[in-house]
A and B are shown apart, each in its own frame.
Chain A
Amino acid sequence: MRKRFSTGGIPRSKTIKIRSDSSVGSVEDARQQNNFEIENLKQKLANVSSQLGKAEYLEKLVVDDIRALRKGSQQAIVELEIKLLWVQTICLLFATISSSIVFLHTMAWSHSSSAVLFLFDIGLILLFYVFNSGSTFEHLIPPSSLEGKNIMKHDVETTEGIVSEVGELEMTSTTWINFFEGIDSLDFYSSDCAKVLSKEEMILFTGMHKEMSTAKNDQIPWVEPNEFTTLKFLQADNFDVKVASARYRKTVSWYFKFDVPSLVLHPPSALHLYRELRVRRFMGMDKFNRPIHVERLGEYLSLVGSGHSKSISREGKWIQLWN
């Protein structure tokens, strides 16, 4: 008995026939057609690449324009500030001269118009004081000595007062910036935060989340934001991705500049005094599970302003208190 070779159910003679049917000429035709198609594709590719080049060029133009605009706006702001200063000084001069004249010459409150003028002048002086008191204190902040430091490996310790509250939760630099980091019971995409978002907002959210997770190499030190934090920053800037991501970059550098994670673990030396002045208490949770805090802000603010407040900007001292 001869054994038959199995060719997948098809007899061998048929397969040979099929091969013999395909002539040489038809193969050449097919090659020509393929070449034609390849040339077409090449042309299309060339078109697309030229368009891409144009797009890149346009982008560069826009970026240059934006830079120019920024420079212009900064200059304009400086000019405006100078103008405002001039106006303020002129107002102050006018107010002091007129008030002194009125006060010296009339000296009598019975004359109603003079009293009104006097009060108006005092108001002007007050306004001048308020506008000028808005000077920033950035020169008092210590230089960013911590920028190169790697605080990701910060040793976690717990303080005396909050051990019972915190329990097993630990605050590291990532958990400071990232909300609910390390809590396994919370999933962002199944939480109420994600359900509220519309489709457009969700697209913006995913875009920013990707951008922030790939931005590791741009900025050092860097902490990758989780979903909750990205949403928080987006909500704060009304879903403007550029502004929100810029803000997040700033906050990351600010966190490391102030050494924020260690501030919680080791409470600052002035904390006791601060709490004596600024009485703040935790009431409980409200109906929507938000913590409620009450504060005697009126007493605190009137303490801040009383007595020695002039020494804030000059000597770097804030309150000398009542001694």
Chain B
Amino acid sequence: MILVDHLKCVIHEIGEYIKKFRITAQQQGIANWKNVYIMDVQNVKFMSVLRAVSLIKYCVKATEDNFPEMAGPIVMINAPPVAEKCWLLVKPFLDKSLIEKFKFFQGVPYDYLLTLMDKSVLFEEYGGTNKTDFPHAITYRSKDD
């Protein structure tokens, strides 16, 4: 997979977000373009993230410049203590507004997540009742099986 292919995939997924915004706008008559984003940082490796810094920078720049104001609250969960240092490294590359939106938790913040959404929406893995499939990435999946 080349970097350009990766960026194309990212854009494709953003396009699907935009469709969701359009659908809600048509159904409910509400103008909204913000997106709630939950990052599960389980199984993260510090060194490999360091290697991926340039990729993160590139993708964040492309999406922030061309799709502004899409990010609502960003919640990072299951974060190891090392991720705090990692966050300090990534921080200078991001916008100030984005830093304000960011929330950082070690483990799963069940009470905070319930302030954002209903229990029926939250996945079972995080203590809710939503039963949709949420698999691990390929390599991690094979380890579990």
Contacts and interface: CB of A to CB of B under 8 A. Distances in A.
Interface in A169-215: 169, 171, 175-176, 179-180, 183, 185-186, 188, 191-193
Nearest to A185: B29
A291 B47 contact: no
B11 A260 contact: yes
A250 B5 CA distance: 21
Given A133-B51, A287-B116, 6 more contacts: A140-B3, A270-B1, A270-B8, A279-B136, A297-B40, A298-B43
B44 A232 contact: no
A281 B138 CA distance: 15
Interface string B21-43: 11111101111111111111111
Contacts of A295: 37-40
Contact of B66 (A251, A290, A292): A251
A135 B4 CA distance: 15
A175 B33 CA distance: 13
A263 interface: yes
Given A289-B28, A292-B38, A299-B42, A236 B130 contact: no
A297 B45 CA distance: 11
Contacts of A271: 9, 12
Given A292-B116, A322-B139, A133 B53 contact: yes
Chain A interface size, under 10 / 10 to 19 / 20 to 34 / 35 or more: 35 or more
B110 interface: no
A96 B16 CA distance: 48
A18 interface: no
**Which of B28, B44, B93 gathers most chain A CB within 10 Å?**
B44
Given A283-B122, A302-B44, A312-B54, A258 B11 contact: yes
A22 to B, nearest CB: 66
**Which of B17, B18, B51, B69 gathers most chain A CB within 10 Å?**
B51
Interface string A9-53: 000000000000000000000000000000000000000000000
Contact of A137 (B31, B58, B78, B116): B58
Interface in A135-172: 135-137, 140-142, 162, 165-167, 169, 171
B52 A185 contact: no
A274 B1 contact: yes
A306 B48 CA distance: 6
B130 A284 contact: yes
B43 A299 contact: yes
A175 to B, nearest CB: 8
B98 to A, nearest CB: 11
A25 B49 CA distance: 97
A235 to B, nearest CB: 5
Contacts of B99: none
A264 B16 contact: yes
Interface stretch (A59-67, A80-88, A101-109, A313-321): A313-321
B49 A302 contact: yes
A285 B140 CA distance: 28
Contact of A289 (B24, B130, B132, B134): B24
